[in-house]
Amino acid sequence: MNLLPTQIIRLKRDGKVLPAPVLRQWIQEYGKGHIPDYQMSAFLMAVCLRGFSSEELHASVEAMIESGVTLHWPKHPRFLVDKHSTGGIGDKTSLILGPIVAAAGLSVPMMSGRGLGHTGGTLDKLESIPGFQTRLELPSFQEQVEKLNIAFIGQTEEICPADRKLYSLRDVTGTVESMNLISGSIMSKKIAEGIQGLVLDVKFGTGAFFKTLEESAELARQLMAIGHQFGKKVVALVTDMNQPLGRFAGNALEVHECIDILTGQVHRNSHQEDSYADTRELSIQLAAQMMNLSGRWGNLAAAEQEARHVLNSGQAYNKFVEICRAQGGDLTRLPRPRHSRIVPVTVDGFITGFDLEAIGYLNVQLGAGRVQLTDVIDPTAGIEFHHKLGHAVRRGEPLMTLYAADEKRLHQVAEKVGACVSYGQQAPPKFSLIRKVMS
Amino acid sequence: MNLLPTQIIRLKRDGKVLPAPVLRQWIQEYGKGHIPDYQMSAFLMAVCLRGFSSEELHASVEAMIESGVTLHWPKHPRFLVDKHSTGGIGDKTSLILGPIVAAAGLSVPMMSGRGLGHTGGTLDKLESIPGFQTRLELPSFQEQVEKLNIAFIGQTEEICPADRKLYSLRDVTGTVESMNLISGSIMSKKIAEGIQGLVLDVKFGTGAFFKTLEESAELARQLMAIGHQFGKKVVALVTDMNQPLGRFAGNALEVHECIDILTGQVHRNSHQEDSYADTRELSIQLAAQMMNLSGRWGNLAAAEQEARHVLNSGQAYNKFVEICRAQGGDLTRLPRPRHSRIVPVTVDGFITGFDLEAIGYLNVQLGAGRVQLTDVIDPTAGIEFHHKLGHAVRRGEPLMTLYAADEKRLHQVAEKVGACVSYGQQAPPKFSLIRKVMS
């Protein structure tokens, strides 16, 4: 079983299936720094093109988990559940569904990420609340989950270090876009949280990593299969990311939207629609799925009813305030942007498309995300969307409002962002936001 | 045209064709140390699995040539021609055909390699002659070719340094076995020699890099296509490497065989066959092809007649002695092995197969090659083959004789090497050594 690195690479290159112990050792040795990057990157490229079998995928996830710490919750009577989203524009559901599920009595040890590429990240959103601390030590994290049912932290050094090392290498070697590597990376971290249930929000469309429903459904299948291999209860929702979720994209702006939803505010757009409706509904549906995995409410409908009750009664908001207090965040000082600029509709007609990936990168340019890891985020930067797909619009009315602390960036982005929206003389067909529920 | 490294890697990963200027710059920058190994190895793996278009192959060869020096022969009236073999067991034709072609009046600037894996290398064979110097500076090399029509050297630092750097990386990243990368590496060095004609001996079989005739013919086609793109005259012979070429494999042993052939000795085996016949004939055919490329003899038959004449008249031997003298080699001190051991036939029947790759690696273990670059070769180590495919043999008669300076290694190898030969109750079908001539 002792294979040389070049033998391992060549087997994968030739499309062979590696024995599980070989693959596990290979990844563990890399995590320990015993395999040079140039060998691992050749291997990763072979995986991109040849794929993993489901046994290999399982072994690779096992190795990444074993490279670090797995959380244990020995005296935990409550069902432990988390959610993972593959990321999009305006995707802020964690801040709503986390408090709902925790207030309903389950435990939510939420380990989240930062903005990546054109998409935002939960940690960056929370850190727009002055003082909010996401770097908890694992014991404090577990203590808060015991006490409040929920805590939000970032991925720590202790959890899946081999995955983090592999991810950094993939990022610079053109080997990010492999469904096997993506699903292994996502699931290893979630499984290491020691949860029992996981709800996946797998997005597709112009703002998602995978553009088509089919690809995203395949990713969902892989993620679920890994979860099942590790004995987890998993449900996946495949959701539409061809238009922004909710009204705002940008860190503090999204927190404002979440607070409005948690406190029952309704914000209507020029079509007199509730412009928070999609954020609110998706959050409730995801929360209901999380709750239903516990079995406590009997069925999904009952779980959904309870989720709505917890939200509407203000219990979820109270939980959110508790979390902020426990993690040092001062909601009264949540910043508002200094500058804004309206981008107008340029054509009479219907809105037929958003190039959300381009819009996401322009939002990064406004200051809402990072180009390099060392970049500092402008928490107030972001975009307000006044319209949804299919809206009838007239030239000159507001399409978006851009926000930022830096006026120069505002002007630069204002010149480009209008071109990311397309118009037509007919309304496009309507699709539901949740396209598929897989369990 | 300025693409990021990850964009270049991803394009190749997705099977796209890179524009020639992009690929040239990519390889040149790597040669200069501006691209890290981990990015290049991911790229090389993508090339292994996606391949190059013929334009890409051309651009990559151009970049490797441009990374170093190209030889020029401004005052050279003679046709410049070389031969390249893809390597095998007992393949010693360079030491015979080089002197033949040079004695016939053409110029042969032979840049050769060392033993690689299970196969031998011309440089190691020559260096078994005490004092033989293969590290000439390029000006001395060119001077000797001007004067004697021939010189033997190793690849120098100045020729295709990017190829050498890429080869070292491929060696440790499982990316050696790509036909595009192999053919680019071979041809860049040959083209940089400034030759006009090239004869390729592309081997297939158990002792060759590619095991099947089809794969080797495809490699021959690619090598020839590159040669033609650079305006070279090229002929390829696809030859059988399912049994050792000639009687000996091992450095000094092979030089002894070459001297015997150059001086007209005949060494018969127990079947009363001339056991040098295949080495002699292949050398003459390759020499005739090299000579025919010059056009000087009108046609191949006339060139072959001249090659035989030059060999039989002793002119080729005289040329070989001249070369040895010029490069410091003392033929009178060519070493003979201290120890030997006979490996017997184990079954009554016919010889039906040689696992030449395994035999080659056992020969390395005897001391005839290197496991690591720093290993010191035993010039006297090697194997004498008493039988060819199809010979009727009886249990107990000699199958091979092993030679080495180290008796312990002799015993270790003797225990294993017999199992590399297979027997049957019927003689296998006979095939000609030269299976295909492509021009």
Q: Per-residue pLDDT tens for B156-187?
A: 889 999 999 999 899 899 998 899 999 999 99
pLDDT band at A58 (very low <50, low <70, confident <90, very high): very high
Active site residues of A: 84, 163, 170, 185, 189
Which chain B residue is nearest to residue A6, measuring alpha carbons?
B174
Residue B218, amino acid:
E
Whole-number pLDDT of residue A423: 97
Whole-number pLDDT of residue A82: 98
Q: Is A10 within 8 Å of B42 when comparing Cβ atoms?
A: no
Per-residue pLDDT tens digits for B397-429? 999 999 999 999 999 999 999 999 999 999 999
**Residue B336 scores a pLDDT above 60:** yes
Tell me the pLDDT of chain A averaged across its residues.
Answer: 95
Residues in chain B within 8 Å Cβ distance of A49: 13, 45-46, 49-50
Residue A7, amino acid:
Q
The secondary element (H helix, E strand) that includes residue A288 is: helix A277-293
Tell me the pLDDT of chain B averaged across its residues.
Answer: 95
Q: From the list B38, B39, B48, which residue is nearest A13 (CB)?
A: B48
Lookup result for tokens 């989240």: A112
The conformation of residue A400, written as its DSSP 8-state character, comes to E
Could you say which of B24, B164, B189, B256 is catalytic? Answer: B189
Lookup result for tokens 């017999």: B418
Ordered alpha helix ranges (H), B154-299: 161-172, 179-192, 213-229, 251-262, 277-293
Q: How far is B87 from chain A (nearest CA, A)?
A: 21
Q: From the list B46, B169, B172, which residue is nearest A45 (CB)?
A: B46
Average pLDDT over residues B2-9: 88
Whole-number pLDDT of residue A113: 84
- What's the token pair of residue B70? 């190209």
Yes or no: is domain B81-163+176-332 CATH 3.40.1030.10? yes
Residues above pLDDT 70, as percent of chain B = 100
**Residue B150 scores a pLDDT above 90:** yes
Residues in chain B within 8 Å Cβ distance of A51: none
Average pLDDT over residues A325-332: 97
**Residue A321 scores a pLDDT above 60:** yes
- Tally the C-alpha atoms within 13 A of residue A86's C-alpha that lie toward its C-beta: 29
Q: Is B50 within 8 Å of A49 when comparing Cβ atoms?
A: yes
Closest CA to B439 of B279, B308, B290: B290
Average pLDDT over residues B106-130: 91
Backbone angles phi, psi at B42, to 5 degrees: -65, -40
Q: Is B175 within 8 Å of A42 when comparing Cβ atoms?
A: yes
Rounded CA-CA distance B176/B167 in Å is: 8
Residues in chain B within 8 Å Cβ distance of A44: 42
DSSP-derived 3-state class of residue A112: strand
Residues above pLDDT 90, as percent of chain B = 91
Average pLDDT over residues A113-127: 87
**Residue B361 scores a pLDDT above 60:** yes
Q: Is A10 within 8 Å of B177 when comparing Cβ atoms?
A: yes
Q: Is B174 within 8 Å of A10 when comparing Cβ atoms?
A: yes
Average pLDDT over residues B372-400: 94
Listed in sequence order, the residues at least 6 apart from B42 whose beta carbon sits closer than 8 Å to its beta carbon are A41, A42, A44, A45, A173, A174, A175, B9, B13
Whole-number pLDDT of residue A187: 97
Interface test with B, best of A48, A169, A173, A177 (most B CBs within 10 A): A173
Could you say which of B12, B24, B83, B170 is catalytic? Answer: B170
**Residue B147 scores a pLDDT above 90:** yes
Q: Is B9 within 8 Å of A42 when comparing Cβ atoms?
A: no
Q: Is B46 within 8 Å of A174 when comparing Cβ atoms?
A: yes
Average pLDDT over residues A384-396: 97
Cβ–Cβ under 8 Å, residues A349 and A424: yes
Q: Categorise residue A381: left if φ over 0, alpha if ψ from -120 to 50, beta otherwise.
A: beta
pLDDT band at B262 (very low <50, low <70, confident <90, very high): very high
Q: Is B6 within 8 Å of A48 when comparing Cβ atoms?
A: no
Backbone angles phi, psi at A281, to 5 degrees: -65, -45
Cβ–Cβ under 8 Å, residues A26 and A8: yes
Whole-number pLDDT of residue A375: 84
Residues in chain B within 8 Å Cβ distance of A170: none
**Residue A2 scores a pLDDT above 80:** no
pLDDT band at B273 (very low <50, low <70, confident <90, very high): very high
Distance of CA A249 to CAs A91, A252, A386, B219, B297, Å? 8, 9, 12, 55, 80
B339 burial (CB, 10 Å; 0-12 / 13-18 / 19+) is middle
Average pLDDT over residues B201-217: 96
Whole-number pLDDT of residue B327: 98
Whole-number pLDDT of residue B76: 78
pLDDT band at B223 (very low <50, low <70, confident <90, very high): very high
Average pLDDT over residues A3-24: 95
**Residue A1 scores a pLDDT above 70:** no
Which of residues A117 and B387 earns the better pLDDT score? B387
Q: Is B6 within 8 Å of A173 when comparing Cβ atoms?
A: yes
Residue A404 sits at the vertex; the CA angle it makes with A399 and A410, to the nearest 5 degrees, is 60
Rounded CA-CA distance A251/A255 in Å is: 7
Q: How far is A312 from chain B (nearest CA, A)?
A: 48
**Residue A36 scores a pLDDT above 60:** yes
**Residue B246 scores a pLDDT above 70:** yes
Residue A164, amino acid:
R
Considering only CB atoms, which residues of chain A are within 8 Å of chain B? 5-10, 13, 36-46, 48-50, 169, 171-175, 177
Q: Which CATH number fits domain A5-51: 1.10.10.10, 1.20.970.10, 2.40.50.100, 3.90.650.10?
A: 1.20.970.10
Which chain B residue is nearest to residue A176, measuring alpha carbons?
B10
Considering only CB atoms, which residues of chain B are within 8 Å of chain A? 5-10, 13, 36-46, 48-50, 169, 171-175, 177
Whole-number pLDDT of residue A295: 97
Distance of CA B304 to CAs B259, B281, B288, B297, B308, Å? 20, 10, 5, 9, 6
Could you say which of B12, B84, B165, B388 is catalytic? Answer: B84
**Residue A80 scores a pLDDT above 70:** yes
Enumerate the domain spans of chain A: 5-51, 81-163+176-332, 338-424
Whole-number pLDDT of residue B115: 77
pLDDT band at A163 (very low <50, low <70, confident <90, very high): very high
The dihedral formed by the CA atoms of A15, A16, A20 and A26, expressed in degrees to the nearest 10? -70
Q: Is A9 within 8 Å of B174 when comparing Cβ atoms?
A: yes
pLDDT band at A340 (very low <50, low <70, confident <90, very high): very high
Which chain A residue is nearest to residue B173, measuring alpha carbons?
A39
pLDDT band at B390 (very low <50, low <70, confident <90, very high): very high
Residues in chain A within 8 Å Cβ distance of B13: 45, 48-49, 174-175
Partners of B177 in beta bridges: none
Per-residue pLDDT tens digits for A86-101? 999 999 999 999 999 9
Which chain A residue is nearest to residue B42, measuring alpha carbons?
A42
Which chain B residue is nearest to residue A171, measuring alpha carbons?
B6
Q: Is B84 tagged catalytic? A: yes
Listed in sequence order, the residues at least 6 apart from A277 whose beta carbon sits closer than 8 Å to its beta carbon are none
Whole-number pLDDT of residue B40: 97
Residue B180, amino acid:
N
**Residue A366 scores a pLDDT above 80:** yes
Q: How far is B111 from chain A (nearest CA, A)?
A: 28
Per-residue pLDDT tens digits for A188-242? 999 999 999 999 999 999 999 999 999 999 999 999 999 999 999 999 999 999 9
Could you say which of B91, B163, B240, B378 is catalytic? Answer: B163
The CATH number of the domain covering residues in B338-424: 3.90.1170.30
pLDDT band at B270 (very low <50, low <70, confident <90, very high): confident
